[in-house]
Amino acid sequence: MKTYIEKEVFLGTMSDMVQLVISNTKAKVKKPYYAINSDCMLNYWKDIDYQEIINNKESFVYVDGMGVIYAQKLLGLPISKERIATTDLFPALVDALNKMTSHLRIFLLGGEKETAEKVRQNFNETYPNVKIVGTHHGYFDKAESSKVIEQINELAVDILFVGFGNPVQEKWVHQHYNQLQVSTFITCGGLFDYYANNVKRAPLFMQKIGLEWLFRLLQEPKRLYKRYIFGNMKYISRILYLRLMQSSRKLDKGLQ
């Protein structure tokens, strides 16, 4: 690709997005919310099906990764006001709903067995006014999703969090979008592991400077070294290539 991303991404704040999600959900506006970070962008550049999902006019795309913001700055693109980590968006949204004593119904789909259920139990204690009405693990045959979809629809869910990992979760939402009687879809990767206390979050200073990946790598080096060492190198190379192409085009125009 000769561009960074074709889709126009959301540039507002976490607070802006929380209010937008709540407003859209209350109005029954059906919409998928997809986060992008450096790893997602690598998939975007190589996976045409995923790329089409992100570029879809119905998709709401927001920035969950400092690598994307650094690229926006280097390539002269519109810059996001802040990184909106889905790991932060989840409690921010639940907290806002709790303060409103909202009747919106939430379902958590993904993670290993009991992980999503642990999150529900933990959040029910902290946010008693929020209705997390159901959970289901993510280790089921995605080709046989009908029972899970039926369970979600029977519970009259308004907000569905889907954590299968990128891009599997986005493809699953896209495939079953019309079958699911849900207004709001938020894909969330490994989010449930954090709030089930399976995984520790990086210190705030590492999150702010874009080094959360390093903290995760140190926690699980065998599983994550390919993604973060080689993946980051590929990402940086692509950004530098795009920057070089921009400079070359400007030089060509100047010589004409």
Q: What sign for the dihedral angle of Cα 19, 20, 24, 30? A: negative
Token pair in block for residue 112 = 């290993």
Q: What is the number of domains present in the chain?
A: 1
Would you say residue 49 lies in a domain? yes
Q: How many residues does the chain have?
A: 256
- Residue 10: per-residue pLDDT: 98
Q: What's this model's pTM, rounded to 2 decimal places?
A: 0.93
How far is the C-alpha of 60 from the C-alpha of 36, rounded, in Å?
A: 11
Give domain status of residue 4, yes or no: no
Residue 120 contacts residue 51 (beta carbons within 8 Å)? no
What range defines the domain where residue 126 resides?
14-255
Q: Give the pLDDT of residue 215.
A: 80
3-class DSSP state of 184: strand
- Separation of alpha carbons 23 and 104, rounded Å: 11
3-state secondary structure of 150: helix
Task: Tell me how far apart the alpha carbons of residues 223 and 217 are, in angstroms, rounded to a whole number.
Answer: 8
Sign (positive/negative) of CA torsion 14, 18, 19, 23? Answer: positive
**Do 36 and 5 meet the contact criterion of CB atoms below 8 Å apart?**
yes
C-alpha distances (whole Å) from 20 to each of 62, 121, 220 are: 12, 26, 35
Q: Which of 226, 240, 221, 202 is nearest to 65 (CA)?
A: 202
Q: Is residue 2 part of a domain?
A: no
Would residue 194 count as lying in a domain?
yes
SS (H, E, C) 38-61: HHHHHHHHHCHHHHHHHHCCCCEE
Per-residue pLDDT of the chain (256 residues; tens, 9 = 90+): 668 999 999 999 999 999 999 999 999 999 999 999 999 999 999 999 999 999 999 999 999 999 999 999 999 999 999 999 999 999 999 999 999 988 999 999 999 999 999 999 999 999 999 999 999 999 999 888 999 999 999 999 999 999 999 999 999 999 999 999 999 999 999 999 999 988 888 888 888 788 888 888 888 888 888 888 899 999 999 999 999 998 877 666 655 5
Can you give the pLDDT at residue 255? 59
Which string of DSSP letters, residue by residue, matches 155-182? TT-SEEEEES-TTHHHHHHHHHTTTS--
Structural domain contains residue 7: no
Specify if 243 maps to a domain: yes
Q: How far is CA 123 from CA 68, 96, 119, 174, 245, in A?
A: 30, 13, 6, 28, 48
Question: Is residue 3 domain-resident?
Answer: no
In a domain, 218, yes or no: yes
